[in-house]
Amino acid sequence: MSIYHCRAKPISRAKGRSAVACAAYRSGDRLQDDYYGKIHDYTRKSGIVHSEVLLCQNAPREWTNRAALWNAVEKVEKNVKAQLAREYELALPKELSREVNIEIVRKYVQKVFVDKGMCADIAIHDPDKGNQNPHAHVMLTMRPILSDGRWGQKQSKNYFYDKNGQRQYDPVKKTYRCGTVKTTDWDDVEFLQNARAAWEIAVNEIIVPLGIEPIDHRSYKDQGKDLLPTVHLGTTAHRMEQKGIRTELGDINRRIRARNRRVLEIERQMKGLASERERLGRIIDIEHSEKAQQSPGYAHWAKLHNLKESAKAMSFLESKGISSYEQLVEGEGAARKHTQNIKHQLKALDEKLAFNGRLIRDKIQYNDTKAIYMAYADGGKKQAFRKAHSAEIEQYEAAVDRLREAEKQLGHKPPRMKELKAERVQLKEKRDTLDAAYQEARSESKDLTAARAAVESQLGIHRDIPQKQQEKRQEKQTHMPDQRHRKMDLRAELEQCTSEAERSPEAQSVRQDKPWGLSHDEPER
């Protein structure tokens, strides 16, 4: 499934950043920074699959050279707190090929930004193996370019005049009174919203005809979904999670995802219940229907309706070779039992998969921290060394404890990483096969239940609901809250998770000017 991510942020000198350094980092290039007199070399950076510069109509052609473009930007901006560039981050559909993604980005940037008068520096990253996180960075110039190729002004002065047509002088500030007017709308909220919507359109034009679920630039709230987005991990937490090391923010996101799944599952169940209620309600109980008793015409229609539904049930039973009511009851019970049996098998497989995942995570954590721990165990000044590397040492010790516990549970040493991964593949394949069988068995069980209801209605058979089942249903109706209230409760829980994330020290340290969990650091000047 494709995800939507389109985020804009400024690159500002006030935060100690350099446009040349940022361009070098994103493109994996080696650039000379004339403003600071430094060379920024990121040629060893991996994961960069494409980069190019797109110039607007009035821009000098020599600016196709990345260093020339961003050094020109650094030169024209005199203020120590100047905004040098604006960057857009775009998540790319991982279902598409690299070439298609490059073409989508190029056309989007040309239409939305370059044709408006901006120069664009595009860099496409795919740092994770397996095409898991392809994304694009688009750096944009912020000044208009005049017809002669010179930089224009970001804003112009609008002087105030008195009734005689003379400029109003401020004796305190010793200057003429004036206001400022922006020369472009590139940093307006409306422009950003239009750019976000344009990215949705650009991607959906490609993926929808391929049968891929479309993306939506609107928030969950605007979409009418009772879901919350995950919190921003940041570079440090993202790298730790990639290595199998749990983090506070990662745990919060896992809780949010789990509760989002609960919301979606509740919605799915409610839709299923409504569908099932409609399905089982096709046979109309004429004897207990007030409308049928009051209206002879409706009663006649109800009888014909019941006959049609019964005919459908008979046709279904014939296809299953069921010729008697006893066979129907026996077949329904067997189908229900078979469905439950497969469900139990699925649960057992899920437990094995979870255990396998924990072992893989613990082994990764063990291997990543072993070297530090061995240096601690074999070296001197253990107290000082442990203080300097407390996190790694504690992670190693925790991994060892969990692996020992797993060994006790298994009765032997845990398998090697290669064997664990092969086992995981087999378990997933088995689960997929079993899940398909479960869905088929569940559908057949529902069909038999509906057919039995139709047959019993025509035969005049009224089953007595067991006392325990009646009490259980009554208890559910009494204690089950309204669906809306359940969603509100879940939303409150999710909002609590989000607030926890925002208050955490890790969030405060990594949340600023970082993309959505990408594995890179922001270069400083």
Distance CA 186, CA 113 (A): 9
- Residues 426-430 have a mean pLDDT of 90
Closest CA to 196 of 469, 471, 4: 4
Q: Is position 165 within any domain?
A: no
Q: Provide the pLDDT for residue 121.
A: 96
Closest CA to 15 of 114, 87, 117: 87
491/436 same-domain check: yes
126/16 same-domain check: yes
Coil, helix or strand at residue 438:
helix
204/260 same-domain check: no
Could you tell me the pLDDT band of residue 520, with boundaries at 50, 70 and 90? very low
Q: Provide the pLDDT for residue 521.
A: 37
467/406 same-domain check: yes
202/255 same-domain check: no
- Residues 182-211 have a mean pLDDT of 90
Distance CA 388, CA 312 (A): 75
How much of the chain exceeds pLDDT 70, in percent? 77
Could you tell me the pLDDT band of residue 21, with boundaries at 50, 70 and 90? very high
431 versus 132: which is more confidently predicted? 431
Could you tell me the pLDDT band of residue 71, with boundaries at 50, 70 and 90? very high
Report phi then psi at 175, rounded to 5. Answer: -155, 165
Could you tell me the pLDDT band of residue 125, with boundaries at 50, 70 and 90? very high
Q: Is position 203 within any domain?
A: yes
Distance CA 335, CA 434 (A): 16
Is the confidence at residue 501, as pLDDT, over 70?
no
317/421 same-domain check: yes
282/410 same-domain check: yes
Q: Provide the pLDDT for residue 138.
A: 97
194/278 same-domain check: no
Q: Provide the pLDDT for residue 510.
A: 39
Is the confidence at residue 308, as pLDDT, over 70?
no
- Residues 459-483 have a mean pLDDT of 55
How much of the chain exceeds pLDDT 90, in percent? 30
Residue 388, beta-bridge partner list: none
Distance CA 494, CA 220 (A): 13
Structural domain span for residue 392:
250-510
Closest CA to 139 of 238, 62, 73: 73
Coil, helix or strand at residue 353:
helix
* Residues 205-223: tens digit of each pLDDT: 999 888 888 888 887 777 7
Q: Provide the pLDDT for residue 464.
A: 56
Could you tell me the pLDDT band of residue 167, with boundaries at 50, 70 and 90? confident
**Domain at 41, CATH number:** 3.30.930.30
Is the confidence at residue 289, as pLDDT, over 60?
no
Q: Provide the pLDDT for residue 376.
A: 85
Is the confidence at residue 359, as pLDDT, over 70?
yes
303/433 same-domain check: yes
Q: Provide the pLDDT for residue 499.
A: 59
Closest CA to 51 of 101, 115, 121, 134: 121
Q: Is position 121 within any domain?
A: yes
The mean predicted confidence, pLDDT, of the chain is 80
494/429 same-domain check: yes
271/324 same-domain check: yes
* Residues 25-62: tens digit of each pLDDT: 999 999 999 999 999 999 998 889 999 999 999 999 99
Is the confidence at residue 250, as pLDDT, over 80?
yes
Q: Is position 364 within any domain?
A: yes
134/260 same-domain check: no
Q: Provide the pLDDT for residue 50.
A: 94
- Residues 6-18 have a mean pLDDT of 91
Q: Is position 1 within any domain?
A: no
Q: Is position 216 within any domain?
A: no
Q: Provide the pLDDT for residue 522.
A: 39
Give how far Cα 482 sits from Cα of 220, 224, 270, 476, Å: 21, 18, 11, 11
175 versus 477: which is more confidently predicted? 175
199 versus 292: which is more confidently predicted? 199
Q: Is position 226 within any domain?
A: no
DSSP state of 465: P
Distance CA 34, CA 19 (A): 11
- Backbone CA torsion sign across 31, 34, 39, 40: negative
Count of domains in the chain? 2
- Residues 242-263 have a mean pLDDT of 85
Could you tell me the pLDDT band of residue 444, with boundaries at 50, 70 and 90? confident
Q: Is position 519 within any domain?
A: no
452 versus 78: which is more confidently predicted? 78
